[in-house]
Chain A
């Protein structure tokens, strides 16, 4: 059952990885070439890579019929966004005009993933990602739609009962009703313990009375159906009453729901964000999503499943930006040369192309893995996609603006709007900092399960383990080649990318031993070492990105896609870049490394925060 997907992962996934060789061939009909499996089966200490699920190779594909289907959706949406959406006006008036919203509804974009039996389009994750590329061209519309279906009605989709689905989904899918997701409160961002909204059962036991207020609710001003999380009293197994969180479907029509003034925001100004208050709002008991007291898992699943499309959205935006800025760079002349002939301008385009390529590869790999039967939980991968693409998107938009110089800074061009709009990507759906914690800790939890016994033996001074360890270290020192089976005769990576694959393998092996030593040093207290966790997360993101580009471009060469040589070039450049970055981060993670400035960083922050101000004297100050 979907609400338990995350738990499944811990319990189910590890054994399934052991047996994944057969599983993999059964599912795909191809030889089991997954990097992680290989690493896992051959060299037990590289189990860390179970984080990347078994199926990064080959790159997921969709059938010809599906491709035709998606293209038939894409064309009208593209036309609509090109002709009927006036982003400048939406941004300026801070409102999406009703006719634009109606157009979106007619295209079915309010129910992309709602099954067809409930009146939605019933598209797969991959196709949703494809549509996201176009929708992202207007940040306000993208956020409105995402708040509606990626989180607003997702609770119904993944945990709602048949009756609830039948009652609400048709209207939501048609866009007649708009959904919102109400979790954040003034005192509670990611801390469930500080949720104050209460739902108390009435005396007849038929309704809950909802009291409290939620802030920063996208679509909060006009949503008709809301997924609201509130505390309910639950009698635990031991008979003790406890407050636990439950999820409710709340209709505005129930009464007692008031919305505040829309927030005036930096970007995505056309989307409606406001406070929503509930004052003795009566909610029938049958509107509880999942079980009473099971709201925490519902919230977590909704949040985890809503992120994967951000990669394709970012890629779509950057691809559009490249077109626009390339035209300018090709036409403007300075010193008798086109801008495009200057190295520093060229570099910006390379950065944009590379970022778009990596984002796309990661996004569609993740979406494809999510669409595969069996393994549905890809929240870790989705989080990595979100972090990478939000930060890459920010850099690229800024670079695109820079190409135009002062012109880009004016409101005559859309760049400043893109810049403002895409800033939210780093913040919502879990800030990047929080997601890095999630990525690193989830990875370390897997690794910990594998390494614990060995580390314990080592700490006890088991000669066998220690000498094995020493041997491994020596081997690494003398550059023993590490072959995880990506290349070679049975390899899954095309020979044109062999060098990059070797780099990935080398990184993976090195990362395995780095994680092992981190666990040896910190054990479970690593939870508090945020600077270390940040690097672990960054390395994991890079490794996943390298895997994704290798997988994608191998496929492209093999089936002869147009311009696959450009893909190879991008993949090799990115992998080399990421390889050196990873090496640097892993050096920082070594004990007593010179590159590691953590102590200084913490000290600076402590001294500043103690005084809550910048404490240096002014450079013009004198003592005599």
Chain B
């Protein structure tokens, strides 16, 4: 409803525009000749404005005064404007004030393209890069009606390319930060660039794909990761294990203690996870075959990387696999096996699966803030309470030197989630992004999820 009303309201200025068009055109000749003298055009309802906007773009580096009060600085860069207004604090409020200042300074919004580009760049600094209202406010800086094509020729060619480009760029940044446009955005775009301009197309593409991708990940990560290392470890472990029965155990909460000799001892965090199935598997494990503690393996959660360790064994060699013998006195009601000498027909045997690789069993997983053998040993002895077989099985530690400083649990700022993968991204950023994707399909987690 809202949208329809807005769009209806748009029609009337269009009619208005048509009626003034004739008058404007009459003055156009006159305006053209007066440009060098510095007189600005009276109204924006003119196609001839294109020349002026073109010229401002060209004169970006030239110190052309646009503002009476701040003649020296205003157009050198708009970055400066942001710096000056928000000298002490960079918040959404100050950002909005800058935009207001720009809008109020000149009714003609001269240099708005440059201003918007500058504002887009500054958004991360002000922490508003994910704020839809700010994007809408920025879009509102564009003068309305001016860039709407009014005949088929304009519609055919790229009408006001720099302005449209700027609008697309703004939407692009929204897209990169995962900000979904709303109806206000659409109304603004229609008012500024018309129903079929490039920004509108961009908007439509975003609105087509964003909702489709929004819930595409079957294992969504919360935007805000828990701050508490125990909660974070719990989240990570349940995420990898993907067994609703599995139980998380906090074997040791992190704390520090001072011994009698005055030394400070810190006890690292140990959080483990094990499911009843895994316990059963471990209980059946042949005590003569060793089990391994391996790690650290990385797990990426948005921008954070955490590490985990697993307790596993090698797959059984085929000759040692024992199948439980068929017990005919097992089921009271129906035979569990048929006494037939017929096997499954090849045409109906779809058991072949390339993903079905014979891997060793994983018995348990843990996360710790200190990945050394002593700590992991503590984990194993904690596991032994419920898995007495661990007392008999030789346990080997196969640890690699893990980058402990990257531990997510000690990450001071685990909050910022989304990292844009746009063209402006730095090399490292792009790399991280790729790693994230690889981690998502890590064989371990993958197996759990299947």
Contacts and interface: CB of A to CB of B under 8 A. Distances in A.
Contacts of B337: 524, 527
Give the interface SS of chain A, mostly helix, strand, loop or mixed: helix
B344 A192 contact: no
B152 interface: no
B335 A244 contact: no
A102 B352 CA distance: 65
A192 B335 contact: no
B329 A623 contact: no
Interface stretch (B208-216, B229-237, B409-417): B208-216
A334 interface: no
A3 to B, nearest CB: 12
Contacts of A617: 215
Interface in B327-365: 327, 329-345, 347-348
A442 B334 CA distance: 8
A229 to B, nearest CB: 9
A407 interface: no
A437 B348 contact: no
Interface string B236-272: 0000000010000000000000000000000000000
Given A522-B344, A522-B348, A441 B338 contact: yes
A553 B402 CA distance: 83
A303 B207 CA distance: 63
Contacts of A441: 334-335, 338
Contact of A524 (B210, B215, B342): B342
Contact of A523 (B182, B329, B334, B345): B345
A519 B342 contact: yes
B180 interface: yes
A232 to B, nearest CB: 13
Given A244-B329, A624-B211, A452 B335 contact: no
Contacts of A444: 338
Interface residues of B, number: 28
Contacts of A520: 342, 345
A617 B340 CA distance: 46
B333 A525 contact: no
B207 A624 contact: yes
Given A441-B335, A445-B338, A448-B338, A525 B343 contact: yes
A449 B338 CA distance: 10
Interface in A362-393: none
Contacts of B333: 190, 300, 303, 430, 434-435, 437-438
A193 B210 CA distance: 54
Contact of B341 (A183, A437, A452): A452
Interface in A510-545: 519-527
B334 to A, nearest CB: 4
A35 B286 CA distance: 57
Contacts of A448: 338-340, 342
A522 B345 contact: yes
A523 B330 contact: no
A190 B329 CA distance: 11
Size category of the A interface is 35 or more
A445 B345 contact: no
A299 interface: yes
B269 to A, nearest CB: 29
Contacts of A190: 331-333
Contacts of A434: 333-334
A441 B331 CA distance: 13
Contacts of A99: none
Contacts of B327: 193
B366 to A, nearest CB: 25
Nearest to A520: B345
Contacts of B345: 459, 520-523
A590 to B, nearest CB: 12
A245 interface: yes
Interface string A439-457: 0011011001100100110
Contacts of B211: 623-624
A158 to B, nearest CB: 15
Contacts of A527: 335-338
A244 B328 CA distance: 12
A245 B214 CA distance: 57
A191 B340 contact: no
Nearest to B211: A623
A183 B332 CA distance: 10
B335 A445 contact: yes
Interface in B296-338: 327, 329-338
Contacts of B182: 624
B342 A523 contact: yes
A623 B338 contact: no
B332 A303 contact: yes
A612 interface: yes
Interface string A278-305: 0000000000000000001101100100
Contacts of B340: 445, 448-449, 452, 519, 523-524
Nearest to A448: B340
Nearest to B337: A527
A430 B334 CA distance: 10
Contacts of B341: 452, 456, 524
Contacts of B343: 523-525
Interface string A444-474: 1100110010011001000000000000000
B334 A438 contact: yes
Given A448-B338, A523-B344, A526-B338, A624 B180 contact: yes
A226 to B, nearest CB: 17
Interface in A410-435: 430, 434-435
Given A193-B330, A438-B334, 12 more contacts: A192-B332, A297-B329, A441-B334, A445-B339, A456-B341, A459-B345, A519-B340, A521-B348, A522-B344, A523-B343, A524-B342, A524-B343
Interface of A: 183, 190-193, 244-245, 296-297, 299-300, 303, 430, 434-435, 437-438, 441-442, 444-445, 448-449, 452, 455-456, 459, 519-527, 591, 612, 617, 623-624
21 contacts: A192-B330, A303-B333, A435-B333, A435-B334, A438-B334, A441-B338, A445-B338, A448-B339, A519-B342, A520-B345, A521-B344, A521-B345, A521-B347, A522-B348, A523-B345, A525-B343, A527-B336, A617-B215, A623-B211, A623-B215, A624-B210
9 smallest CB-CB distances across A and B, nearest first, come from: A523-B342, A623-B211, A438-B334, A296-B329, A437-B334, A448-B340, A524-B340, A523-B343, A525-B344
